[in-house]
Amino acid sequence: MPSTQRPAVTAHVALGANLGDAAQTLRDALQALAHTPGLRLDKASALYRTAPVDSDGPDYVNAVARVETWLTAPALLAVLQGWEQHFGRERPHRNAPRTLDLDLLLYGAARVESPALTVPHPRMWDRAFVLVPLAEISPTLVSADALRTVEGQRIERAADLGW
């Protein structure tokens, strides 16, 4: 690593989609992240099907990726939003169905509060579609108590769905 480069930070990114071939979009998005300068895809969860939360439309396909990054948190957010646009993300209204949603969940142990970014993600602890795949790839980050708080939310592992 060049001496001018920042040390790597482990970040976690939630992926979700419910328009088009959502499962393929998530696979393609993971490949895009794996080839993004400043990132190294370390691990990705299985794909999960979940009911929309605070939204409408068809079921979502969700996953979580763990990346090593040399980008700042705001720069990583900009990269994620660029990939959303590349995959056709539109924002006609809050929580609209989407071709791709990429959320920065965690950026190391950092806490970020700005108009554009809050880390840790403010609603991650309320959502099975985040906690279950996050626990799969980084089990020390999600307690059994946290998983119990979301156990009433429907979530099905893709392997169980024949994907």
What is the per-residue pLDDT across 81-108, written as a single tens digit (0 to 9) for each? 999 988 876 665 565 567 899 999 999 9
In the annotation, is 126 catalytic?
Answer: no
- Residue 1 within a domain: no
- Residue 80 within a domain: yes
pLDDT given for residue 48 in this prediction:
96
- Residue 53 within a domain: yes
Instruction: Determine the average pLDDT of the residues in 118-142.
Output: 94
Tokens of 79: 């990269």
Range of the domain at 112: 9-161
User: How far is the C-alpha of 25 from the C-alpha of 40, rounded, in Å?
Assistant: 19
Q: For residue 54, what is the domain's CATH number?
A: 3.30.70.560
pLDDT given for residue 1 in this prediction:
44
Is the backbone peptide bond immediately before 97 cis, with ω within 30 degrees of 0? no
- Residue 2 within a domain: no
- Which of 59, 89, 126, 157 is labelled catalytic? 89
- Residue 150 within a domain: yes
Give the number of domains in the chain.
Answer: 1
Beta bridge partners of 56: none
- Residue 146 within a domain: yes
- Which of 103, 111, 123, 154 is labelled catalytic? 103
- Which of 49, 66, 98, 127 is labelled catalytic? 98
In the annotation, is 103 catalytic?
Answer: yes
**Pair type for strands 9-17 and 39-44:** unpaired
Q: What is the largest CA-CA distance in the chain?
A: 49
pLDDT at 65 over 80: yes
Name the helix (H) or strand (E) containing 81.
helix 73-86
Amino acid at 83: W
Do 107 and 66 touch, CB atoms closer than 8 A? no
Confidence band (pLDDT; 50, 70, 90) for 118?
confident
- Which of 49, 66, 101, 127 is labelled catalytic? 101
Do 27 and 68 touch, CB atoms closer than 8 A? no
- Residue 56 within a domain: yes
In the annotation, is 98 catalytic?
Answer: yes
- Residue 24 within a domain: yes
Do 127 and 53 touch, CB atoms closer than 8 A? yes
> How does pLDDT run across 1-40, given as a tens digit for each residue?
444 577 899 999 999 999 899 999 999 999 999 999 999 9
Q: pTM of the prediction?
A: 0.90
Instruction: Determine the average pLDDT of the residues in 140-162.
Output: 88
